[in-house]
Amino acid sequence: MPMPMIVISAPPGRAVGRTSFTGETSVRCRGVPPARDVGGMRSLVMAPLLVAGMLVVPGTAAQAAQCRGGSDFDGDGRRDLATGAPSAAAGGQARAGQVGILYGDGRQEWLVPADARRGGGFGAALAVGDLDGDRCADLAVGAPGTETVEVYLGAEGGLRRGPVLRLPSPGGDQFGTALVAADLDGDRDLELAAGAPGRRGGGAVAVFGLRADGLKGRKVFTASIGRKGRRKAQTDAFGAVLAAGNFDGRGRDELAVGLPGDGHRGEGSVTILDAVRSTGRNISQAGRLRGSPERNDGFGSALAAADFDADGRDDLAVGVPGEALTDKNRGFGEGAVHVLYGPSFKEEGPMWNRLTGGLAGNARRNDLFGAALAAGDLNGDGTADLAVGIPGSGSVQILRGRRRHGLTARKAELVTSGLGAAAHYGNALKIAGGVLTVGAPGDGGFTGGVYRSRTRLPLEGRGLTGFSFG
């Protein structure tokens, strides 16, 4: 089929990416070129026509509406990227928040909250998945300042507004601080879990759509689950961080819920939560892990689940960015990561940190190794790899997964940005389609920026842009 030639004119100052048309048979997304190649007036050759912001796909409607899951919001077969800018102004309201969408064809769109309020923080958390069952990827956007989660539904042409989720009787819950979409009941459609770490009693997690179509129904889990007899405090922050994985290799996912404020002094813990059985299992450094619980460790400040040893069961990486390594009295926040293998959650390998043998670099105070984590296959060998953010040093440590061995230091790679510590490069991470995306929300005087590995993407910094990804 001959490709139509289309000329797209971008308004001055607006960045437009260039992507070659790869055809219906391919869903690989090569992303957009470096920022230096874009901007201003530019002619592009591509199959879908972009006319005044409307995407018109050649061919029949049936062809056009083919969504295949993944993170393709508009069904054009190309992977799209969502990033939060929770400190961006919207509707004249400071820090109401915005979400930048970079479509695979280079279009850029900014979502603003339906109800823009000062300090709403729309975009503080994002989750992607097909939530309504039409195979187009949908986007959930958390706004903890207004205690709402807005759902945007994927469709031909782009995202459209969907339902807005809330908790009953909100009030300082910070609902929407963390989000994850996963199949928690094994019926092959996705549920949406949303953390409310400020909820009375140490936080809560609400799950929408359990044993139902779409997001119908709501089940709320409290900080008590899996922590029988343990002291609970308002500052536990249960639900501040969420991940999901199929840790036992059977038919459904479980939630990993971070409580980074758990313990008398913020040592932190993680609860593995079975949403169907309403059972939980709490894990901390007070158990059989290679670290010890100390003040402000923040165990569970970041979580990532994937199968690092290719045994068919997901494994869990837990960030402890406050972990002190060099001098327990003076040192603080060099950071560490535990990797626990499903289904037993036994720690194999070292407690990963910047002093681990085989890794480049040096541990420094406030590196915050493990402040962000992302898992996914970066080198196409079928085994998940782990990206560890080190925002205090502006770098990301890549650990490679190996079949039967799990994560090892072999072929480990340190991605350095050259940006100063203030950029917070590595504060948010995403791996999709073999590509590492890195947020630097402090870049450009805290307007923020998004990088594909080391290359800055043409997304404007609007206020902590790059704080979160979906």
* Cβ neighbours, 10 Å, residue 281: 14
- Is residue 109 near Ca ion by the rule CB under 5 A? no
- Is residue 307 near Ca ion by the rule CB under 5 A? yes
CB of 221 to Ca ion, least distance (A): 16
- Is residue 136 near Ca ion by the rule CB under 5 A? yes
Q: Are 191 and 182 in contact (CB under 8 A)?
A: yes
Q: Are 354 and 333 in contact (CB under 8 A)?
A: no
Choose the binding region for Ca ion from 56-64, 75-83, 237-245, 265-273 (rule: CB under 5 A).
Answer: 75-83
Segment holding 62, helix H or strand E: helix 61-64
Report which DSSP code applies to 50: E
- Is residue 138 near Ca ion by the rule CB under 5 A? yes
- Is residue 185 near Ca ion by the rule CB under 5 A? yes
- Is residue 443 near Ca ion by the rule CB under 5 A? no
Question: In the numeric block, which tokens belong to residue 217?
Answer: 């129904």
CB of 141 to Ca ion, least distance (A): 15
- d(C-alpha 93, C-alpha 364), whole Å: 38
Closest CB to Ca ion among 27 and 89? Answer: 27
Closest CB to Ca ion among 211 and 365? Answer: 211
- Is residue 254 near Ca ion by the rule CB under 5 A? no
Query: Which residue among 86, 108, 132, 241 contacts Ca ion (CB under 5 A)?
Result: 132
Collapsing DSSP to helix, strand or coil, 263 comes out as helix
- d(C-alpha 146, C-alpha 148), whole Å: 6
Query: Which residue among 24, 109, 115, 187 contacts Ca ion (CB under 5 A)?
Result: 187
Q: Are 370 and 336 in contact (CB under 8 A)?
A: yes
Query: Which residue among 24, 109, 115, 134 contacts Ca ion (CB under 5 A)?
Result: 134
354 contacts: CB under 8 Å, gap ≥ 6: 325, 334, 335, 361, 362, 363, 364, 367, 369, 390, 397
Closest CB to Ca ion among 137 and 259? Answer: 137
Closest CB to Ca ion among 151 and 390? Answer: 151
Collapsing DSSP to helix, strand or coil, 332 comes out as coil
- Is residue 309 near Ca ion by the rule CB under 5 A? yes
- Is omega for the bond preceding 86 within 30 degrees of 0, making it cis? no
- Is residue 183 near Ca ion by the rule CB under 5 A? yes
Closest CB to Ca ion among 130 and 267? Answer: 130
Query: Which residue among 70, 86, 97, 104 contacts Ca ion (CB under 5 A)?
Result: 104
- Is residue 253 near Ca ion by the rule CB under 5 A? no
- Is residue 72 near Ca ion by the rule CB under 5 A? yes
Choose the binding region for Ca ion from 34-42, 117-125, 141-149, 152-160 (rule: CB under 5 A).
Answer: 152-160
Q: Are 401 and 382 in contact (CB under 8 A)?
A: no
Exposed / middle / buried, residue 321 (Cβ in 10 Å: 0-12, 13-18, 19+): buried
Choose the binding region for Ca ion from 119-127, 143-151, 179-187, 224-232 (rule: CB under 5 A).
Answer: 179-187
CB of 191 to Ca ion, least distance (A): 5
- d(C-alpha 335, C-alpha 468), whole Å: 20
Query: Which residue among 24, 156, 248, 311 contacts Ca ion (CB under 5 A)?
Result: 311
- Is residue 385 near Ca ion by the rule CB under 5 A? no
Question: In the numeric block, which tokens belong to residue 454?
Answer: 């080391």
- Is residue 297 near Ca ion by the rule CB under 5 A? no
331 φ/ψ angles, rounded to the nearest 5 degrees = -70, 145
Closest CB to Ca ion among 166 and 313? Answer: 313
Choose the binding region for Ca ion from 32-40, 43-51, 69-77, 258-266 (rule: CB under 5 A).
Answer: 69-77
- d(C-alpha 187, C-alpha 41), whole Å: 48
- Is residue 200 near Ca ion by the rule CB under 5 A? no
Query: Which residue among 8, 70, 74, 97 contacts Ca ion (CB under 5 A)?
Result: 74
Q: Are 210 and 173 in contact (CB under 8 A)?
A: no
Exposed / middle / buried, residue 453 (Cβ in 10 Å: 0-12, 13-18, 19+): middle
The residues binding Ca ion (CB under 5 A) are: 72, 74, 76, 78, 80, 104, 130, 132, 134, 136, 138, 154, 183, 185, 187, 189, 307, 309, 311, 313, 315
